[in-house]
């Protein structure tokens, strides 16, 4: 008898079931959401084709040097992206993560992202660790100690710092800058025993190293990404878009069957 290979949709479905099984024993699940997760909501990733803004690459604009040279150009880029993000809505995959955080039986879910948008918060996830900062943060370009803050209405963009008079700048983490203090410590303190990585290229350190180390330590790691990444061979890779795969995975992870199986394990 000739065995036919499953259709792509069918094989993705089987992989989603395998991923739910893989995450069955996890009690502290770390979710890492990358650019591909927001791309499904229409936010450009800046890594794919067409990931340019006008004639600039993000590497040309998201640096202290670029800001010092032409702050208005950098602010224009940020204003446009802020307005694009304000107009976007969280997709079903992001909303399903909020459900997972609330209904992951006898377990906890910590969500961290390298994305600067607020779609995960608007999907209902609390808290969200923004490893590269938030696009709505505004701070002082001279780092004088002014705490800055959220600026959803752009009222602090292109202004002067109220403490020292230096120009205000976006509070995002730029190329060559350190991650906000305490966030990697918070992940370490959470002590995850499983990881779900969504739409991340898995090449930007130090965040990319987290799931790779976990996979090498034989902890369950599931990756959702239409493309293969350096993590894919080490993890259980679901090759589909977050908006499509996550609702199906979360459905299984929060099902009565899964709850009973998890209860039996504990
Ligand atoms: Zn200042």
What the chain holds in terms of domains, given with CATH numbers, is 1-41+90-134+179-266 (3.40.50.1220), 44-87+136-171 (3.30.1600.10)
Do 37 and 223 form a contact (C-beta atoms < 8 A)?
Answer: no
Rounded distance between C-alpha atoms, residue 65 and residue 138, angstroms: 17
Cis peptide before 206 (omega within 30 of 0): yes
Beta-carbon contacts of 166 under 8 Å, excluding residues fewer than 6 positions away, are 140, 141, 142, 144, 160
What separation in Å is there between the alpha carbon of 138 and the centre of ligand 1? 11
Whole-angstrom CA distances from 94 to 3, 98, 137, 221 are 37, 7, 22, 19
Ligand 1 centroid vs 156 CA: distance in angstroms? 13
| pLDDT given for residue 211 in this prediction | 97
Place of tokens 């208005």: 72
How far, in Å, is the centroid of ligand 1 from the Cα of 148?
Answer: 9
CA of 162 to the centre of ligand 1 (A): 7
- Torsion angle defined by CA atoms of residues 211, 213, 215 and 217, in that order, rounded to the nearest 10 degrees: -150
Supply the pLDDT for residue 2: 60
Q: Which of 91, 130, 132, 237 is catalytic?
A: 132
Please report the pLDDT score of residue 153 as a whole number. Answer: 76
Pairing of strands 137-140, 149-150: antiparallel
- What is the Å distance from ligand 1's center to 167 Cα? 8
For ligand 1, the distance from its centroid to the CA atom of residue 165, given in whole angstroms, is 6
| pLDDT for the residue numbered 62 | 92
What was the pLDDT predicted at 126?
A: 95
User: To the nearest 10°, the Cα dihedral for 149, 45, 178, 117?
Assistant: 20
Nearest CA to 135 out of 100, 92, 88 is that of 88
Rounded (5°) CA angle 33-35-39: 110
Chain length of the chain: 266
Q: Is 132 a catalytic residue?
A: yes
Q: Return the DSSP state at 5.
A: P
Q: How far is the CA of 161 from the centre of ligand 1 (A)?
A: 5
CB 220 within 8 A of CB 195: yes
Q: Give the pLDDT score at 204.
A: 80
Q: pLDDT tens digits for the chain (266 residues)? A: 566 666 677 899 999 999 999 999 999 999 999 998 998 888 877 655 556 677 788 888 999 999 999 999 999 999 999 999 999 999 999 999 999 999 999 899 999 999 999 999 999 999 999 999 999 999 999 999 998 888 777 777 788 999 999 999 999 999 889 888 899 999 999 999 999 999 998 888 888 999 999 999 999 999 999 999 999 999 999 999 999 999 999 999 999 999 999 999 87
Cα–Cα separations (whole angstroms), residue 91 to 9, 39, 76:
20, 10, 27
């Amino acid at each position: 008898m000739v065995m036919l290979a499953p259709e792509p949709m069918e094989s993705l479905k089987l992989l989603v079931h395998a991923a739910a099984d893989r995450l069955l024993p996890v009690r502290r699940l770390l979710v890492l959401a990358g650019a591909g997760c927001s791309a499904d909501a229409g936010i450009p990733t800046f890594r794919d084709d067409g990931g340019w803004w006008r004639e600039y690459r993000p590497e040309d604009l998201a640096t202290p040097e670029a800001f010092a040279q032409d702050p208005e150009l950098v602010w224009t880029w940020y204003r446009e992206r802020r307005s694009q993000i304000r107009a976007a809505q969280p997709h079903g995959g992001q909303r399903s993560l909020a459900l997972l955080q609330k209904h992951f039986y006898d377990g906890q879910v910590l969500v961290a992202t390298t994305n600067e948008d607020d779609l995960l918060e608007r999907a209902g996830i609390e808290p969200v660790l923004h490893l590269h900062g938030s696009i709505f943060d505004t701070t002082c370009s001279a780092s004088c100690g002014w705490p800055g803050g959220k600026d959803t209405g752009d009222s602090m963009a292109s202004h002067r710092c109220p403490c020292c008079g230096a120009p205000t700048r976006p509070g995002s983490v730029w190329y060559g800058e350190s991650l906000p203090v305490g966030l990697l410590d918070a992940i370490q303190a959470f002590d995850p025993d499983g990881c779900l990585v969504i739409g991340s290229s898995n090449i930007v350190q130090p965040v990319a190293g987290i799931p790779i180390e976990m996979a090498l330590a034989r902890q369950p790691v599931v990756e959702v990404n239409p493309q293969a990444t350096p993590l894919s061979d080490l993890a259980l890779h679901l090759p589909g878009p977050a908006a499509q795969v996550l609702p199906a995975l979360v459905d299984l992870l929060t099902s009565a069957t899964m709850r009973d199986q998890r209860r039996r394990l504990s």
